Amino acid sequence: MWFLTATCAYGAMLTAVTVLNWLGPDRWWFGALNLYLPQIVWAAPGVLLTVLSLKVARRWVWAPLLCVAWVLGPIMGFLLGHARATGIPR
């Protein structure tokens, strides 16, 4: 099914971006380019795949939604709640 292939390719792309961010963006040119891109760009394919999954394969809608959550969380650094920094005096 083409929808699952596209979602898996999107997940693989997000995995590559996450690994490049984790290893340090100065090692490869794509990691350095990712520093200058707006990170919300990585969520656009997930939103499109979510809309398509609602029409094509409704029971697989969770897969692109998890990818969008991955973009908002680990890739963009969005945090819910208040995280206290350690080592900073009050």
Residue 48's pLDDT is what?
Answer: 92
For the chain (length 90 residues), average pLDDT per consecutive 10? 86 90 83 84 91 89 91 75 59
Residue 83's pLDDT is what?
Answer: 58
Its pTM stands at 0.76
Distance separating alpha carbons of residues 64 and 48, to the nearest angstrom: 9
Q: Where are the beta strands (DSSP E) in 1-90?
A: none
Domain positions in the chain: 2-75
Position 50, amino acid:
T
Q: Can you tell me whether residue 71 is helix, strand or coil?
A: helix
Residue 12's pLDDT is what?
Answer: 94
Using only C-alpha atoms, the chain has a radius of gyration, in whole angstroms, of: 16
Residue 82's pLDDT is what?
Answer: 62
Residue 26's pLDDT is what?
Answer: 83
